[in-house]
Chain A
C-alpha cells in the first residue's frame, strides 16, 4: 500500500491542565477522504491545528508526511508540504479583493518582492470562470469579497486550496452558514478530492453531510479516538446509533467485537 499522506503517532496536546488530545493515531492515504466526527470540544480543531503546524504536539508525538518525520512543523512548512485548510470561521480578508485573498500569504512576486499583480489577476479570473462559474462581468478579481455571498466566499477558499496543488485538504466545517444549494456545491467538491488522488479530512458535526462524501470515518470523543471504520462496513443508521452511544458512554460499541 502507498505511504499515507499524513500519519500521526501518539499525538497528544495539553493546554495547561487541560488535555485536549490524548494519544491520537491517525493516517490519511492519497485518494481518500476521512470524515472526522465529534462533538464540540472533542478536539477536532486542535487536531487540525497540529497537522497544519499551528500548534506543536506534546513531546512524544510524531508527525509524518509521505513517510518523512517532521519534528517542528510550522505553518509555512506544512503549506510547503501541500496541506491546505478551508476553515469554518472567516478565512478571508473581507475588505480585500478576490485576487488578494486567492494569493493570501504567497503572493506572486519577483526577487525584490514586487508583486506581479497582472498575473495574479489573470489567474484569479481564470479560476473564477473555470472553477467557480462566475460569468458575470460585474464580479471581477478586484471585487472585495465582503460583497459576495457565503457560498461564493467558501468557493474562493476552496478554489484557493485547489489551485495551490494541495496534497492534503482539510475542511473544517466548510458548510457552516451555507444555504442548501451552496452546501451541495461544497460537498461535490469534497467528493472530487479523492477522485483527484488527493487526501482529504472533512470535519463536521452534521453526519448527513459527512457520510455521503467520505471513505472512512473517525470518531473523536473528549480528546481520544473513540472509533474508526470504513464507510462500506456501516450504514448511516448504524453510524447514528453508535454516535449516540459515544455521546453517552464514550464508547462506540456495546461490547468489543471478537
Chain B
C-alpha cells in the first residue's frame, strides 16, 4: 500500500515537537514561573532555603499526583485519595500505639491504602459505576470512618522521633535534602518504568484511549483499572505517612487541602481529561510549579488566601488549554 494524503508534510522536527509538546511546554512554563518569582523576590529565590522548603512539602502531594496521572490516563479519576491518606495513617497510628512496632505498622498501613484503592477499582471496573461518583462516595466513607473511630482527636507520632524509621522517611540526606524528596524521585522512576517500559503501562494507555478496542484485542481492561486504583491507594498511604511524620503528629484531617493541588499538578502536567495522553515527567515538573506558586505567593507578599483561587484557576486553565490545543491537532 502507498501512504495516503496523511503522510504528506510531516517533518521529523515537527513530529518530535508534537510527540514531546507536553514535556517541552511544561518545562517552559516552569522556567517562566521561576523567572517571575526570581525577579519579584530575588533575595528569596537565590537562596537554597526556599528550595529545601519545596523539596520538603511538594512530595506530600507530588507522590500522590504520580499514580493519579496513571488513573487519569486510564480515563478514570480518583477523588478519594485524601481520605485514603487519613484512614491508612489511622491504621499506622493505631498499630503503633497498640504494639509500638513500626515494622508492623508500616505494611498494615500500606495494605489499608492498596485495599481502599483496589476497592475503588473493583467498583469501577466490575460493577461499572463511573469513578467520579464512586470515589466521591468512598471519600466520604473513609473520612467518616476515621471521624467515628478517632472522635476527631489526633495521635502524637513522637515515638517515631530519633528512630531509624523516621530518618529513612523524613530525615535530611547530607543534612540538606529531605528524604521525602528522595522517595518521590524513586517513586517517580518506579512509576515511569511501570507506565513507559512495562506491559501494564502500555495497557493503561490503551485502556484510556480506546477501552472497547483494547478489550477486543485481549487487554484485561478491568485488571488494568483495578491496578491503577490500587497503586493510587498505595501512594496515598505513603504520602500520608511522610506528611504526618514531618510534623510528628497524625491529624484525622490529614489529606484535606491536598485535593486541589494534586489534581492541579496532574492536569497542569498535560495529562488529558479524555484519557490516553499524559506523562509522569509533566506531572513531576507541574507538582513543583504548584508547590512553588504556594511559596511564591507568600514570598512576593500576597496573602495566602490567594493560593486556592490560583490553584483553581490553574486547573481550569490547563484543562481548557489542553482541550483547545487537542481539538486543533485533531
Instruction: Name A residues whose Cβ lies closer than 8 Å to a Cβ of B.
Output: 52, 54, 75-76, 79, 85, 87, 89-97, 100, 103-107, 109, 113-115, 117, 131-140, 142-144, 146-152, 155, 179, 182, 185
Contact = CB atoms under 8 A, between A and B. Distances in A.
Interface stretch (B2-10, B124-132, B172-180): B2-10
Interface centre among B197, B217, B277 (most CB of A within 10 A): B217
Contacts of A140: 15
Contact of B1 (A96, A97, A151): A151
Contacts, number: 125
B97 interface: no
Interface in B1-37: 1-7, 9-12, 15, 18-19
Given A93-B213, A146-B329, 4 more contacts: A97-B19, A107-B199, A109-B199, A115-B197
Contacts of A52: 216
Nearest to B202: A107
Contacts of B206: 93, 96, 100, 104-105
B4 A151 contact: yes
Interface in B179-223: 193, 197-200, 202, 205-206, 209-210, 212-219
B231 to A, nearest CB: 15
B276 interface: yes
A89 B211 CA distance: 13
B218 A79 contact: yes
A62 B45 CA distance: 73
Contacts of B272: 95
A95 B199 contact: no
B330 interface: yes
B204 to A, nearest CB: 11
Interface of B: 1-7, 9-12, 15, 18-19, 193, 197-200, 202, 205-206, 209-210, 212-219, 272, 276-277, 329-330
Nearest to B219: A105
Contacts of A179: 4
Given A93-B276, A105-B217, A134-B3, A144 B19 contact: yes
A96 B7 contact: no
A100 B1 CA distance: 20
Interface of B, secondary structure class, is: helix
A155 B3 CA distance: 10
A136 B10 contact: yes
Contacts of B3: 132-136, 139, 149, 152
A96 B276 contact: yes
A93 B15 contact: no
A131 B5 contact: no
B240 to A, nearest CB: 28
Contact of B210 (A90, A148, A149, A182): A90
A75 B199 contact: no
Contacts of A148: 4, 6-7
Contacts of A146: 329-330
A75 B6 contact: no
A185 B2 CA distance: 9
A145 to B, nearest CB: 10
A148 to B, nearest CB: 4
Interface centre among A85, A91, A107 (most CB of B within 10 A): A107
Contact of B7 (A54, A85, A152): A152
A10 B6 CA distance: 45
A114 B197 contact: yes
A49 B296 CA distance: 57
